[in-house]
Amino acid sequence: MLDSAVRTHKKQPLYEEVAQRICHLIEQGTLRPGERVPSIRSLSKQMQVSINTVKEAYGQLEDRQLIEARPQSGYYVRVRFPELPAEPEINPPVLHHPSEINLPDIYQRVMRDLLDPELLQLGIATPNYMLLPVEKLNRMLARETRRFARQSVAYELPPGNLRLRQQIARRLLLSGCTLSPDQIVITSGCVEAVALSLRTLCQRGDTVVIETPFYFNFLQLIEELGLKALEIPSSPRGGISLEALEYALERNAEKVSACLVISNFNNPLGSSLAETDKQRLVELLEHFKVPLIEDDIYGDLSFANDRPGVAKAFDKTGNVLLCSSFSKTLAPGYRVGWIAAGRFQDRIERGKMLAGVATASPPQQAIAEFLANGGYEYHLRSIRRSYARQVALMQDAIGRFFPEGTRVSRPQGGFILWVELPGMIDSLLLYEQAKALRIGIAPGQLFSIKGKFHHCIRLSATLWDPAVEEAIKSLGQLAQRQLELQK
Amino acid sequence: MLDSAVRTHKKQPLYEEVAQRICHLIEQGTLRPGERVPSIRSLSKQMQVSINTVKEAYGQLEDRQLIEARPQSGYYVRVRFPELPAEPEINPPVLHHPSEINLPDIYQRVMRDLLDPELLQLGIATPNYMLLPVEKLNRMLARETRRFARQSVAYELPPGNLRLRQQIARRLLLSGCTLSPDQIVITSGCVEAVALSLRTLCQRGDTVVIETPFYFNFLQLIEELGLKALEIPSSPRGGISLEALEYALERNAEKVSACLVISNFNNPLGSSLAETDKQRLVELLEHFKVPLIEDDIYGDLSFANDRPGVAKAFDKTGNVLLCSSFSKTLAPGYRVGWIAAGRFQDRIERGKMLAGVATASPPQQAIAEFLANGGYEYHLRSIRRSYARQVALMQDAIGRFFPEGTRVSRPQGGFILWVELPGMIDSLLLYEQAKALRIGIAPGQLFSIKGKFHHCIRLSATLWDPAVEEAIKSLGQLAQRQLELQK
């Protein structure tokens, strides 16, 4: 037996021997960041040591941050911290007054490129189609429209398909919300839910409070609606700064008609508000009588086994409008999202009716059936693992290939990375150079109303293969060259 | 042979004999309004007279307005004019200044009732599901999402599904428009197309010129957007008064940012602009630099075999935004509409993107396939005949059951009738009384911003059966009773 043999010849504890072996496999690259290490049971069998010995070894490797446990899923090789770049530090910008938005004309150009199928798209936040349950969904679409044929061609007038709303209400328990189906309105995706909310709450010239950096489509929407934006700094770990928010509201409360926050695995920072901060956010906005529009579109993509709660869970007065969709987890093209609109329910239903009468019926029927009988939770577990792994691998590659001083975010869900480049690197130039190599990235300038974050880029880790690794390497080289030319 | 026998015994021409026989069948009620009379060939055989004799007889009956020819379809019994109420006379109201809209709170109540499945719905303008090709469409939905599986779950980003836009561009030739697929944006129904247009063209406080009476959802939309409305009188035959429009534009041109018109088989009047008036409308608005939003949602439901043209056909500068959908002809629940946005194409595409990213993909795929291979024209011919017949039967029943002095519109397409009641009849009271009998109607007050048309109702002839006939009879009795109580 290895146990006694090792104990006799070497003076180190047996678990240390086991740990060293795994450590060696990681250093060699046999076990790569994000990959699963052998299960305790199988390693115990393979190395002929006791289960407890392996457990102790893994515990030690965990302490050394080489591997990490994921509940009900086993142990995984952590991204190698010594090589992983530091996290970005968003310097809280000086608080501006609310600003009218005049977004730079790079938007049109970049938007077109983000959709160019000729580019390897690392800049767009659409899910990896290989990870979507395409056949199953389309089968359910066919079956449900056959089963409820007349309903499929008829309007599902607001609030929308009842069975779907029941399923969503049931799932909302996991987010900490007890809501009934009639407190939910089905929308054409999360973007429509947010757009309806802004249109319902704000009039041209009003101010909306947002985080910075922030999802560029929402910035454009705010511009389109003629609203002013008040940007509150957000940190890559904890999300929007509540101190800065309170400071701003104390000085602007009368003019602010909504606050729009992506509460979990934020786009682009990947940050999430802690549960206590969610509660504080809700109380703060309630105090200032400013409705909260909460976007939770990435909430189901937590790398942990349980999804995080939402701010809406702390809403006692109906002041929170919670928006989400199935575009990141099931089918963006089905355009099925929803909003739990609190005390604005009637107005949102009316707004939905006037904006286009209803959401298409067949996709609602199919997604209701998928939630009821399609194994949505099982599907989520599978894609969460994939995205966790891909995010880890991309972080690792950035660490290896990008210039020293690069920083990268540490999202605990979703598939988006925020990368802060060192020196005076111009991400718009980097974007142009990358495009020449047929690589698409999202330059940081898109993510604020003043074109800030010009040294940052957003990358999507929706897939990982040698071509993506090669693209990350190329991006790193381009950034390095920019740095050298500046010397 | 009847020919010679008749010629000998009676002194009247033979064709007169044939005409009298048909006339008798109509008077007896054997041939009812809207029903097809025997074909020329079969009657010639049956009565043993020459084809030319029957032709002459039918020509005479046509002159006497007892029957009417429908191209490639034969002769039909006309609605009996002596008994049919006169057409409504919309008295051109004094032109108001543009008004902010504060719609009465009856809207919420009536909207809810319009959706109540417990009521026999004669007040809502949704098509009869029995006339929709439900199975075929759903079969195509299943097949197309299987055939283009990945595309079905992916975004169809603006301007939308290419194949669908190609099919729409091809069909637009029938409306007199030569447009390429990239001049079309797919929307979530016609309502979204109009809403996008208004949002693109108008800012809060601007004025939009509309017809009166006008589709109530558009009035609500205009209110919701904070726009002022300038109502231009519309006639039940020829649509919006171009004289009044010119007069108004000369005095308000600077403030007017759009004109919204339903050009064919208008909701609620059923009126259509003559082709020359369409051209004049386009030129007039071009002269005043006011964009025209043209809603043609009922255009495909012409009772004649050819559909009418659109104003867009006369557009030389891109000033016309033509909006339509497949909600009246194929499947309201699929939510597929479109807009040919002229020089506003880029802004509409951007607006669509920001309002909800895209229209759902599977319904676009299914409708593209239906237009290409589903026999859309054949389907249209069939439902046009049904609606023509049902409209005739409902007009006839109104003539029989409603109080003397009632007037009813003469639409040449669609399925909507506008009924003007005599005396001081209050249509809101009638609506409440009808509701107690489980009959749903749309009271006239919904169709203007000032609650005018309180003596009018809108009825939908989407179906015809003994229950509907009974409902029309009940409505007539309720109206009669109101009249008598006023004496």
Interatomic CA distance for residues A37 and A67, integer angstroms: 8
Indicate the pTM of the whole model: 0.85
Interatomic CA distance for residues B110 and B376, integer angstroms: 34
From chain B, pick out residues whose CB is under 8 angstroms from the CB of A115: 157
Sorting pLDDT into bands at 50, 70 and 90, what band is A79?
low
What is the distance of C-alpha B372 from the center of its chain? 24
Show Cβ contacts of residue B122 under 8 Å, excluding neighbours closer than 6 positions.
B439, B440, B441, B459, B460, B468, B471
Interatomic CA distance for residues B281 and B109, integer angstroms: 36
CB B171 within 8 A of CB B371: yes
Spell out the domains of chain A, with CATH numbers in brackets: 2-77 (1.10.10.10), 134-376 (3.40.640.10)
Residue count (chain B): 487
Chain B contact present for A201, CB below 8 A: no
Q: Which token pair is B402?
A: 């409603």
Position A82 pLDDT exceeds 70: no
**Distance, first Cα to last Cα, chain A:** 61
**CB within 8 Å: B126 and A155:** yes
DSSP letter for A71, please.
T
Average pLDDT value for residue range A107-130: 86
**CB within 8 Å: B142 and A142:** yes
- Which regions of A59-117 does DSSP assign to beta strands (E)? 67-70, 74-77, 99-100
**What does the pLDDT look like over A6-17, one tens digit per residue?**
444 446 788 888
What does the pLDDT read at residue B377?
94
CB A193 within 8 A of CB A338: yes
What does the pLDDT read at residue B95?
55
**What does the pLDDT look like over A149-168, one tens digit per residue?**
999 999 999 999 999 999 99
Nearest chain A residue to B361 by CA distance is A333
**CB within 8 Å: B142 and A145:** yes
Interatomic CA distance for residues B240 and B411, integer angstroms: 15
**CB within 8 Å: B333 and A360:** yes
Where is B230: in which H helix or E strand?
strand B228-235
Give how far Cα A131 sits from Cα of A297, A385, A462, Å: 17, 11, 9
CB B348 within 8 A of CB B318: no
Interatomic CA distance for residues B184 and B166, integer angstroms: 9
Nearest chain B residue to A335 by CA distance is B360
From chain A, pick out residues whose CB is under 8 angstroms from the CB of B151: 333
Interatomic CA distance for residues B137 and B132, integer angstroms: 9
Interatomic CA distance for residues A296 and B199, integer angstroms: 27
Q: Which of B149, B358, B363 is nearest residue A138 as measured by Cβ atoms? A: B149
Average pLDDT per run of 10 along chain B, which is 487 residues long? 45 84 79 83 88 90 81 77 64 60 75 83 91 96 96 94 97 96 98 97 93 94 92 91 92 84 96 97 96 98 93 98 98 98 96 94 98 95 93 94 93 96 90 95 91 91 95 97 88
Q: Which of B111, B192, B330 is nearest residue A355 as measured by Cβ atoms? A: B192
Interatomic CA distance for residues B236 and B269, integer angstroms: 5
CB B267 within 8 A of CB B449: no
Interatomic CA distance for residues B124 and B126, integer angstroms: 6
**What does the pLDDT look like over A347-392, one tens digit per residue?**
999 999 999 999 999 999 999 999 999 999 999 999 999 999 999 9
Interatomic CA distance for residues B219 and B292, integer angstroms: 16
What does the pLDDT read at residue A1?
41
**What does the pLDDT look like over A467-481, one tens digit per residue?**
999 999 999 999 999
* B262 SS3 class: strand
Beta bridge partners of A24: none
